[in-house]
Chains A and B, each alone.
Chain A
Amino acid sequence: MRGRTLIGTLGVLLGLYGAWLLVSRQDRAQLVGAAKWLVAGVVLHDFVLAPLTLVVVAGLARLLPVSHRAPAAVGLVVLGSVTLLAIPVLGSFGAQTHNPSLLDRHYVIGWLVLAALTVACVVVAGERRRRTP
């Protein structure tokens, strides 16, 4: 119990130090901007992404034969999370006309290859499971 109290107290202190760093080094408009992002992240996850995942999983469960459900779930975890983290490169929002070395790949093609490989793995694994019940 003492160990837990110690870890918890240390956590509270570090968190408060961070909060002080946050509010003491920027102006009001910047803090409002940071607060918007903090709230938006939670709201987007809890009330958009998580329910969307429920709907997608329910849809896949209805459409797919039993043999393909487990491989499809693995495919969803892989492709879903990698797609989410690829949003900045897929949109290339940071691209600069005079810096051709930044965002210099064909990201959509790269993503399509990744998606095709994932779907192929899901189909192959599903077919193998169907043949060997």
Chain B
Amino acid sequence: MSKQQAIPIIFNQVKQINWPTLNQFLSATALPIVGIVIFIGLWSLMAKNIDTSLGQFPGPSAVWQQANVLLDEHNAQMDKADKFYQRQDERNAVRLAKDPSYTPKIRAFTGAPTFLEQIWTSLYTVMVGFIVASLLAIPLGIICGLSKNAYTAINPLIQLFKPVSPLAWLPLVTMVVSAVYVSNDPMFSKSFITSAVTVSLCCLWPTLINTAVGVSSIDQDLLNVSKVLRLNALSHVIKIVIPSSIPAIFTGLRLSLGIGWMVLIAAEMLAQNPGLGKFVWDEFQNGSSESLARIMVAVLTIGVIGFALDRLMLMLQRKVSWDKSAVLR
């Protein structure tokens, strides 16, 4: 076999055998990595050339460094909290000795919330707002999907409120919450209620609309089966309607959660309610040379959490979906 003949044969073999696996490998892991590397490269290149009045725009290394600083600050604050509780115990003991009628009370740490605590606050708020909205939107959507009359009645309202920006709601929500939610020993703080209600108001619509559409486009065959079996209204909804509209409902839920997360950050920023949005705003106000890098850490965190929330919903959807062969993305 001459050399000239050998090359195409080997080449062909390589093409036939290796291409598919390489392709899979590329698309599964390598391409995202390439994307990220290019992004980081471009980012650090751009960062070097942007000078703001707060110093240079933070590159990847500055952001990484600040992420570590934020973690350290969290740990330092935890240490401080330990000492705070210790001092408090001692002080209570002293006062009890002087004033036996005193009822000692352990007070929660009064220090400023750290970055990690702000993340937790935001996550908690968005989940509460989202769950409340879903509990309202899914039943309402099912009713709209089942009854043409109900849909015609509610549709104008949906169309009217759907495009309203959350920030337009915010002042109203704030005032209503402070007027209505009055108690001496509130279980939740007002700021939490305000943020959660704002998130709920914006989470309602995608779920509502998608549920209604999903329910109204159920396969005629399935409806016929329900009729033949003479299912009553409740079992009709549970056995036929909900299972067959699960994909549509989840499409709505995923959209809602994404919107809710975006809305929450903006609401926290504007209303100065605790959470990641407030963190970003506070850092912006500080105007220190590290502020931009710290904001960038928050931006990336917000992105990662948004992505994780979406994946979580996707996993749930796969779990509850009856059609395991459907392509979900």
A-B interaction: no
